[in-house]
Amino acid sequence: MDMLLNGKAAVVTGASRGIGLATVTALVGEGMKVVAAARTVTPELKETGAIILQVDLAAADGPRTLVEAALAELGELDVLVNNVGGGDGGAVGGFLSFDDPAWEEIYNLNLFAAVRTTRAALPSLVRQRGAIVNVSSNGARMPHAGPVPYTTAKAALTAFGKALAEEFGPQGVRVNTVSPGPVRTAMWEDPNGYGAALATSMNLEREQLVAGLPAAMGMTTGRLVEPAEVGTLIAYLASPLAGSTTGADHIIDGGSVKTA
């Protein structure tokens, strides 16, 4: 399907792997000029052909630096994908196990990085009547299902997207949210990631935990979500084909969330 994105310009954050990498691949495949922002540059990201900018978006000035560099490369921006997030690796305790620095670190990466990047990019997006896609989590709807700072930060990100859609819709900017469930990424497959830490806390092997995750999460598809599936959804929401879709939260979690 031609998503009518050929020649348009995008910025994707958290682009080195997983959902970010899949999104860059999808957008480049549609003929877009893509600036891929990542703290760590991977060989897989280099292979996409995107323009890579190495930046730490958890730093207060990182988002502004990214957008200024992207505008210098691209001229204007048609699409912003706020994908950067995480900070939940090893965070398997309950509410009382997180001190202020832990909350600040997780909110900085999962909420304020998107806030700052969006603030810097919006003037160009307004001029281009562009689109923003924020990558949240189905944990925003089930905040008990993961580390409390992480899931509540994602809930705030989802609300942020809805507020932006209302304010900037009359200026031609569409804003949507994608909320994945468990995706086959390093979060679950890295021996040092969140999945490994969670498995250890449950006296399980990581492979055992991951194999049982779809059933435990009520995923009716019986498998983890693939990054490419999320990347394709993001590309569609960024495209003119979704011109009347805004302010929406699109769950892609294999049927894990059962409520409307």
- Catalytic residue list contains 150: yes
User: How far is it, in rounded angstroms, from Cα 16 to Cα 37?
Assistant: 8
Could you tell me how many residues make up the chain? 260
Q: Please tell me which residue in 107, 150, 194, 236 is annotated as part of the active site.
A: 150
User: How far is it, in rounded angstroms, from Cα 62 to Cα 65?
Assistant: 5
Residue 13: burial class (beta carbons within 10 Å; 0-12, 13-18, 19+): buried
Nearest to 63 by CA among 27, 108, 32: 108
Contact 70, 77 (CB under 8 A): yes
User: How far is it, in rounded angstroms, from Cα 79 to Cα 131?
Assistant: 5
User: How far is it, in rounded angstroms, from Cα 215 to Cα 103?
Assistant: 30
Q: Walk across the sheet containing 79-82 and list its strands.
A: 51-54, 33-38, 9-12, 79-82, 131-135, 174-180, 249-252
Neighbours of 47 (CB within 10 A): 10
Tokens of 44: 């897989």
| Residues designated as active site | 150
